[in-house]
């Protein structure tokens, strides 16, 4: 049977050292920011490479442009399935 001091010691051993926890938090913040930059940069970079080599626009970019336009500005036949006028 463990006494209170042994329980406290086991609890403290299970915790991460504060330095390691701070370093992990910093790394996670860096990876999060890097992911946001990649999310913004990669689609435009691919689009630029395709346009440089004389290709047409990527289908995903056409779809993204179409979805970015508000539904009330599109004529009824251009709306997607399930979209109704409000």
Tell me: the pLDDT tens digits for 65-81? 666 666 666 666 655 56
Domain membership of residue 6 (yes or no) is no
pLDDT for 34 = 92
Domain membership of residue 52 (yes or no) is yes
pLDDT for 12 = 79
When pLDDT is averaged across residues 1-30 and rounded to a whole number, the result is 83
Domain membership of residue 69 (yes or no) is yes
Domain with 49, as residue range(s), is 32-77
pLDDT for 6 = 85
Domain membership of residue 86 (yes or no) is no
Find all residues with CB under 8 Å of 50, minimum gap 6, and list them.
56, 57, 58
Domain count, the chain: 1
Instruction: Compute the CA torsion angle 7, 13, 16, 20 (nearest 10 deg).
Output: 150
């Amino acid at each position: 049977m463990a006494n209170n001091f042994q329980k406290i010691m086991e609890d403290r051993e299970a915790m991460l050292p504060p330095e390691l926890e701070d370093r992990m938090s910093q790394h996670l913040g860096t990876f999060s920011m890097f992911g946001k930059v990649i999310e913004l940069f990669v689609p435009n970079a691919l689009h630029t490479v395709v346009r440089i080599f004389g290709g047409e626009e990527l289908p995903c970019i056409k779809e993204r442009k179409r979805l970015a336009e508000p539904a009330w500005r599109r004529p009824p036949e251009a709306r997607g399935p399930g979209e109704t006028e409000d």
